[in-house]
Chain A
Amino acid sequence: MRGGGSSGAEPGCKMEGLTLSEAEQRYYCDLFSYCDTESTKKVASNGRVLELFRAAQLPNDVVMQIMELCGATRLGYFGRSQFYIALKLVAVAQSGLPLRVESLNTVKDLPLPRFVVSKNEQESRHTALYSSDADNPASYSGVIPPPPGRIQVKKGSVSHDAVQQRTSTDQQESTSPVVSPQQSPPTSPHTWRKHNRHPSGGNNERPLAGPGPFWAPFSEAQPGSSTSSDPIWSGHSPPPHQENWVSFADTPPTSALLAMHPASVQDQTTVRTVASATTTNEIRRQSSSYDDPWKITDEQRQYYVNQFKTIQPDLNGFIPGSAAKEFFTKSKLPILELSHIWELSDFDKDGALTLDEFCAAFHLVVARKNGYDLPEKLPESLMPKLIDLEDSTEVGEQTGEVGYSSSPAEAPPSKSPSMPSLNQTWPELNQSSEDTAIVHPVPIRMTPSKIHMQEMELKRTGSDHANPTSPLLVKPPDLSEENKMGSSVKFTAGNTVTDGYSSSDSYASDPEQIGSTVTRQRSHSGTSPDNTAPPPPPPRPHPSHSRSSSLDMNRSFSVTPGQQQAGVVAYPPAVPPRPQPSQGAGPHVHRPVDAEGLIAHTSTSPQQIPEQPNFADFSQFEAFAVSGVNKEEDDEIETHSEVLQVEKAADSASSLRVAKADGRVEDKAPANVPTSAGKGTTPLAPPPKPIRRRLKSEDELRPEAEEHTQKTGVIAAVLASQPSIPRSVGKDKKAIQASIRRNKETNTVLARLNSELQQQLKDVLEERISLEVQLEQLRPFSHL
């Protein structure tokens, strides 16, 4: 029956109104399997049942009563349901409760029926159906009295005869001493002997499942716990004790025999006995959902815990692998199997055993010793719980029942804890480094950036005119970047676009660049121009273009192609828009843009101060703008153009840049004004543009500062036109002054842009060098 397992176990079945806990279910199943000598799965052989009842150490009349109650007497055989009922009644009887049918289900926490099992159960199993068939219920009574069968069948020991009953247990046990040495191997002589004895009543029932020679080490470990209610046991040398223990251990793996063992084992060790009722109660309480062959009984668990203590006094501590190895090596299992057991039981794969893991491992060893094959995966009941198990106190907690989820987590899941740790080692270091690089906060100059942001925002979105502040808020980083001008090259175009890239490139190419975020972002986009650059640029120009196209800016810009010299224009134009509304001129659409640009401009560069007042006082500005702008030209035209310019600027930084060259309104293009200077005079475009663009613009600016950029061309044209406008006005002096101012502003902006770009260049070069180094490093691997 070994391995036959809980044959035909019906998980959680109810028989005739009998409700069994999981533990009971399992236990009864095992018992039934044991009794099911003919493997009918339906009927327990009477002989075995009788033996079982004898082992229960109940008075004969009680047994008879039980049999009647369960219906076996009536039926003449023990069906599964009868058997279960009988077992339950046995438990009831053993608890001292009156036998009642009602008590079957009403009694809670009934301990499992205890059966004193004798060793050599196996032999008996194999050999005997002793008279089981021959017997009939009626004869049971006669048979019952016989020796409770417990006790190891020792050769020559036992005179267990029918006569011997529970009371004679001691006698039997006394005889058993001899057994011990021989106990170990369930030998055929035993069986044979038992067989002979059989008529007298079967002591050979329940031979311990034990594979004989057990663990000497365990025996050593056990001395303390060997005290048992049965003096005999203690008297026995460890082996029998172990065997009992072992057999008891067999229970989990489901053999019918095993079911007996726990009881016997309990008797055998004080430790175990201590628990019995309580433990059984607890076991019952716990009750797994179904028959779990791998469950550890309380006695077993207690034993394991004790063993654990011998190695590691601290129950919450670990047993190091080496100690565990020595311990389990004593079991004399092959290393391969021990290795497998370890794999199964070391749940967290840390090379050490916690109490739970140790118990699981021990359990598996015991099972293996008893001949049960090791499972491929750790059974649920053996899984370590998340909460630490106490020792005996917790009792009921079958390992694995609670904590770890019933999910069959076994080895693979258990790996997860270790895996992540391992995986973490896989770097991801690169990323982390990148992250760290990214994180490089660099102080941002807010003021200019604000303007930038605004401008960028305006420029980019070109749609949100209504809310001057929103763009600011929305894209501070962008603006800041843009403000950086040169550095922001990368970023510009839609920070939104570049953001994604920026993160990739963290190597903060521009740590020094102004505006950490900005620089960061910039660097991202910039450092890997190859990576990020491509995408950003396109959007950039686009909005501006679209914007410009949508606006009349193109027209206006085109109108004023040659205005560059004015320079100052860029900025001032931003301002005008606002007044324009007041003036009632200018396209309202542009108004907000312009206003923003105006604001931006005003708020930032010092040179804008003059504008600020203008800003504050639109009228003044108006006047100024008008005066300044109109100096050369028609007010309206100018404002209009300015507005346009502003808008244009907002649209594209490039335009600003170009404008810068022109030093005119173009730069102003409020939106553009990436440059904090925003003066707008010079398109300065730098800021928002993606690096490339910026570089380009920068180059363009530097060399010529002519409107000349790709899309800035238009702006430039516009800007250029701007200056021309004022000039045309004719107020030379004022115009000149204004233009001078603007030019100065433009200069500063350009200078800043220049410096930023220089910085960027440096960073990029550094990056390039590092990349080259890396390339060299990797070169050897590329030969394939």
Chain B
Amino acid sequence: MATAGPRAHRASRESRSPHVTPGRGGAGREDGGGGDKMAVCIAVIAKENYPLYIRSVPTENELKFHYTVHTSLDVVDEKISAMGKALVDQRELYLGLLYPTEDYKVYGYVTNSKVKFVMVVDSSNTALRDNEIRSMFRKLHNSYTDIMCNPFYNPGDRIHSRSFDNMVNSMMMQVC
């Protein structure tokens, strides 16, 4: 509540002042004008830990995101194993923050078929809340299942779906 207040206030203030670049919300603007959901990199990793889909915002060094995602897989595995076999059913799909780095935070999500979604978000983006991350993962999961429903898609293939791309694009940070 407290946070919402100032944020809302900021937003309102911004909206009122025309000269201020229209921002989504105070926090969002301060973070550099991200879009609604601002992920820096989104990756879909197969069960065997090879990437099915990986996309990041265009930066000078995109490989670092790839590396980050790769290293996060260890954490994912650790979390999965920590659950234990007994709790497989109760294991929640959303893994939460995998680990934070100086610049970003990495969130993880694993499906029941051990397909992992990894999302890297910018640390400066303080507007992102946990439930927002969850909703983003949910969307990812939904899109992924839609892809799986496509008979032309062979599980294990790289994902080339346009709809999936569109959905991911909507979640990626809009880098100016």
Contacts and interface: CB of A to CB of B under 8 A. Distances in A.
Interface of A: 321-322, 324-325, 328, 335-336, 338-340, 342-343, 346, 349-351, 376, 411-412, 415, 418-419, 422-423, 426, 777, 780-781, 784
Contact of A321 (B93, B151, B162): B151
Contact of B163 (A324, A325, A411): A411
Contact of A339 (B79, B99, B160): B160
Contacts of A419: 142
B138 interface: yes
Given A418-B145, A777-B87, A784 B150 contact: no
Nearest to B146: A349
B152 interface: yes
Contacts of B149: 321, 346, 349-351, 418
B1 interface: no
A325 B83 CA distance: 39
Interface string B148-176: 01111100000011110010000000000
B149 to A, nearest CB: 4
A486 B33 CA distance: 55
B116 interface: no
B77 to A, nearest CB: 13
Given A376-B162, A784-B96, A321 B145 contact: no
A781 B82 contact: yes
Contact of B79 (A325, A342, A423, A780): A780
Interface in B87-120: 87, 90, 93, 95-100
- A contact face: mostly helix, strand, loop, or mixed: helix
Given A324-B151, A325-B152, A781-B82, A418 B96 contact: no
Interface of B: 79, 82-83, 87, 90, 93, 95-100, 138, 141-143, 145-147, 149-153, 160-163, 166
A322 B150 CA distance: 9
Contact of B152 (A342, A415, A418): A342
Which of B100, B138, B163 is packed against the most chain A CB atoms within 10 Å?
A: B163
A415 B162 CA distance: 14
B161 A784 contact: no
Contacts of A376: 162
B150 A339 contact: yes
A423 B138 contact: yes
Contacts of A351: 149-151
A190 B99 CA distance: 67
B146 A340 contact: no
A415 B142 contact: yes
A299 to B, nearest CB: 27
- Which 6 A-B pairs give the minimum distances between C-beta atoms? A321-B151, A780-B82, A339-B152, A351-B149, A325-B151, A411-B163
Contacts of B163: 343, 411-412
A780 B152 CA distance: 39
24 contacts: A321-B149, A324-B151, A325-B151, A335-B152, A336-B160, A338-B152, A339-B153, A343-B147, A343-B161, A343-B162, A346-B149, A349-B149, A351-B150, A351-B151, A412-B166, A415-B142, A418-B149, A422-B141, A422-B142, A780-B83, A781-B95, A781-B96, A784-B98, A784-B100
Nearest to A336: B160
A321 B150 contact: yes
Contact of A340 (B100, B142, B161): B161
Given A325-B152, A340-B161, A426-B138, A784 B99 contact: yes
Which of B138, B153, B166 is packed against the most chain A CB atoms within 10 Å?
A: B153
Contacts of B151: 321-322, 324-325, 342, 351
A286 B79 CA distance: 58
Given A411-B163, A781-B96, A418 B153 contact: no
Nearest to B163: A411
Contacts of B100: 784
Nearest to B147: A343
Contacts of A346: 149-150
Given A321-B151, A343-B150, 19 more contacts: A321-B149, A335-B152, A338-B152, A339-B161, A342-B152, A343-B147, A346-B149, A350-B149, A351-B149, A411-B163, A412-B163, A415-B143, A418-B145, A422-B142, A777-B90, A780-B79, A780-B83, A781-B95, A784-B97
